[in-house]
Amino acid sequence: MVALLRLSQQLDVLIQLGFRCKSYTIDPLQLSVLLVAAPVGSRYTHEFEGSDLTGRLQRGRDYLQLLFGRPIRTFVPPHNALSRRGIEAVDAVGLNVLGSFLSFRPSRKPWGIATFINYLRVTAFRVRIRRGRQARLIYPHPLRYKNHAEFGCHLLLPRTSSDELLAGFDQAYRFGGDYCLATHYWEIDDRMATVLRTVVEYAERTGAQFVPADALFDAP
């Protein structure tokens, strides 16, 4: 898990709880980065399934808000995947969803007027950029539902090229949208670090504003 924070006062608290933490600064953003790894022997799972999903989300958010002393508004699902039940739980709790959603699948959404409107928005966007239904697409605006919104991120993976990520940035910029880049810190090597720096420096040259993840959902 990687969290971009302007302050990392909670570092000592996490260490006391048994988490392995490291804090450093990324230039040119001048943002403090807090890397958090689960405690040794902890029972962490990459699944968000099972019973009482709504209750688990609510209890988890309450705990994190108590721990960090600030509101928790955004949920990043394990493996960037949510079942329909998972989405219903997120909506019930009122958490926004940030992830690498490459397509819009109405079958996995609670059906309603908001789902229909979002389907039309994504379809119209595909027509504008001339991209078919089977092609990868990250919609550069938040998709709003009854009690939550969703925003898709571009992925920096070991095989990702800077050209691919810059093309996504240019597309978001051209259509007045926002751009989110997500990665896993434990995968970062010299090549991925170079790609990341290329994207950050390119965004800086365009005059892009770097904001916390929560701010992506404040856009119209």
**Separation between Cα atoms, residue 145 and residue 118, nearest integer Å:** 9
What are the φ and ψ backbone dihedral angles of 185, each rounded to 5 degrees? -65, -30
**Separation between Cα atoms, residue 108 and residue 86, nearest integer Å:** 9
Tell me, what's the pLDDT at 8? 43
**Separation between Cα atoms, residue 30 and residue 9, nearest integer Å:** 16
Centre a 10 Å sphere on the Cβ of residue 69 and count the other Cβ atoms it contains: 10
**Separation between Cα atoms, residue 91 and residue 141, nearest integer Å:** 18
Q: What tokens were used for 125?
A: 């966007």
Tell me, what's the pLDDT at 99? 82
- Please provide the DSSP assignment of 111-128 as one string: -SHHHHHHHHHHHHHHHH
Over the chain (220 residues), the average pLDDT of each successive run of 10 is: 39 50 43 39 45 85 86 84 83 88 62 87 90 81 92 92 95 93 86 92 92 85
**Separation between Cα atoms, residue 213 and residue 219, nearest integer Å:** 11
Tell me, what's the pLDDT at 135? 73
Q: Whose CA is closest to 95, among 219, 213, 220?
A: 213
Q: What tokens were used for 158?
A: 């070991």
Query: How many C-alpha atoms does 165 have within 13 Å on its Cβ side?
Result: 27
Is pTM, for the whole model, over 0.85?
no
Tell me, what's the pLDDT at 34? 38
